[in-house]
A and B are shown apart, each in its own frame.
Chain A
Amino acid sequence: MSPTHPDPQPDPEVRAHLDALRAIPPRDPAVAAQARQAFLEQARQLAVSARPERRLNRWKAFWIGLLYPKKEVSPMFSALTTILLVVSLLLGGSGVTVAAAQASLPDDLLYPVKTWSEDLRSEITRDPQARLNLSLELAERRTAEITQMVARDEVPPEPVLLRLQTHLQTALQLAVAQSDAQAVRALERIRQRLEIQYQRLLQQGSVTNPTAQAALVRTRAMIQTHLQAVQEGLQDPQILRQRLRQGMPETVPPQNHQPGGNPWTQDTPTPGSGYGSGQGGNPWTQDTPTPGSGYGSGQGGNPWTQDTPTPGSGYGPGPGPEATCTPGSGPMMPTFQPPRQGNGPARP
């Protein structure tokens, strides 16, 4: 006991509890003997060999540990592997697999490698300008992938479209995060590149697969929505900042984009089931629609209002099923209004 420090002792109640812990049931002699035997056997096996040069010493243990790493070493090995991979990416993306993956399309096996390497680049890119350029580059990649798949009558998966939307929104957010003058310059750059993408999408020839066609239309609408946002931002970056804070409007959901027919199936529909190619009218009702109710066979215009629209507002009764889109006719909304011919599984 140290003379300078008191030796704290438990009070009687705590002491009584501690004393209760002293007594333990007797150890099973058979188990104890067995354990002793096992210990001595283990000691015999590990005992030093007769020849000193064959004994395991600290140096030998070090080299053995280095040559045959135990599982505890694996995390470091894994970290080292990751670092080497990242360095190889930074030095020009020289990884053979990663390089091969760059040309892959969403239905290829290597596509996850491509998106992984993109995510990694996004993670390690810190400079806002570089990040903006990267977002635009990735958006162009997504658009190119969608175009290529649609050209082959293949349907681009939903995650690809979502990634495109993320890239576009990231680009806009990075642009308006700067001062007004810088934001306008960045938005102008975005506008030019988005217009090129939009033109490429417009040049896409006819597509026989209606689902692929729907994806193409949706992609166009997405680009156009962001183009309109950019136009607004060019006039007043503050308005765009506010809009982005409130959240960019979603592009029209895929089922509302069907230009006719149900893209999810081409089978003959079961009458009244609501599923099928969409030529069977509105499965939810066969009644004559109440004017303005929005319910019925779906041939009406905008059920929400019959008022005269405010020019440029984008609201109003709508031109009806045969209308064509006018780019820039409404703020922040895709101008594409699909004709409501088939109702298929779409909500009434």
Chain B
Amino acid sequence: MNAPNEQEWLQAAQRFDPEALAAIYDYYSPRLYAYAMRLLGNRDLAEECVAETFARFLHALHVGHGPRQQLQAYLYRTAHNWITDRYRRQPPPSLNTDDIDLSTGTPNPETSLETAWMRQHLRRALWQLTPDQRQVILLRFVEDLDNETVAAVLQKPVGAVKALQHRALVALRRILEREVENVPNPS
């Protein structure tokens, strides 16, 4: 799902037009925050990811690089690379973090706990996938991006993305089964 005036924003952003930059930030930063939050499960890290992604975007514009089109794909790719690079040489982030939030409007705390439990298991499973597999699962089935946009993010042909998607789903299914077998349900 692209913003309707993305190309105009991009052209204005290359001139460092403050209004265009503010519009880009306002439109994409909540999406990037949600993406990082879903993967990292930590507010501070998610904020850091957003800040770093936009800082890289500005720097790229400054040195004459940066995206010429597909701004959304560029920003998701940058955010994903930041997360992957950050955890390449160290364990994935602690997954028992602050998103077990019972005040999000769910009337039944038990349901909320169960959701949080599923979320943690999914995150653990996602971190056992390859970075590309993790990215395609999140973008396609959580962020609800279409295949063409995901292909632009991954810089792969649509056919390759579908093949990757298939392998990712199989792997995720297998890992989740193993995770559920090994970890007792807290409820």
Which residues of A pack against B, CB within 8 Å?
1-2, 4-11, 13-18, 20-28, 31-32, 35-36, 38-40, 42-44, 46-48, 56-58, 61
Picked from A9, A17, A27, A39, the residue with its CB within 8 Å of the CB of B33 is: A27
- For residue B118, which residues in chain A have a CB less than 8 angstroms away from its CB? 16-17, 20
Closest 9 CB pairs of A and B: A47-B16, A20-B118, A8-B166, A25-B101, A17-B122, A61-B63, A58-B64, A46-B62, A5-B162
Which residues of B pack against A, CB within 8 Å?
15-16, 18, 21-22, 25-26, 29-30, 33-34, 37-38, 43, 47, 50-51, 54-55, 58-59, 61-65, 98-99, 101, 104, 115-116, 118-119, 121-123, 125, 137, 141-142, 146-147, 158-159, 162-163, 165-166, 169, 172-173, 176
Cα of A61 to Cα of B137 in the assembled complex, Å: 37
- For residue A25, which residues in chain B have a CB less than 8 angstroms away from its CB? 37, 43, 98-99, 101, 104
Nearest neighbor of B34 in chain A, beta-carbon distance: A24
How far, in Å, is B152 (CB) from chain A's closest CB?
14
- For residue A5, which residues in chain B have a CB less than 8 angstroms away from its CB? 158-159, 162-163
Nearest neighbor of B15 in chain A, beta-carbon distance: A48
- For residue A44, which residues in chain B have a CB less than 8 angstroms away from its CB? 18
* Residue pair A14, B47 in contact (C-beta under 8 Å): no
* Residue pair A40, B34 in contact (C-beta under 8 Å): no
Best-buried of A4, A17, A56, A61 by chain B (most CB within 10 Å):
A17
* Residue pair B141, A18 in contact (C-beta under 8 Å): yes
Given A20-B119, A39-B54, A39-B55, 10 new contacts (CB under 8 A): A1-B147, A8-B165, A16-B118, A18-B122, A18-B142, A24-B34, A31-B47, A39-B51, A46-B61, A56-B64
- For residue A46, which residues in chain B have a CB less than 8 angstroms away from its CB? 16, 58-59, 61-62
* Residue pair A58, B162 in contact (C-beta under 8 Å): no
Best-buried of A6, A14, A32, A43 by chain B (most CB within 10 Å):
A43
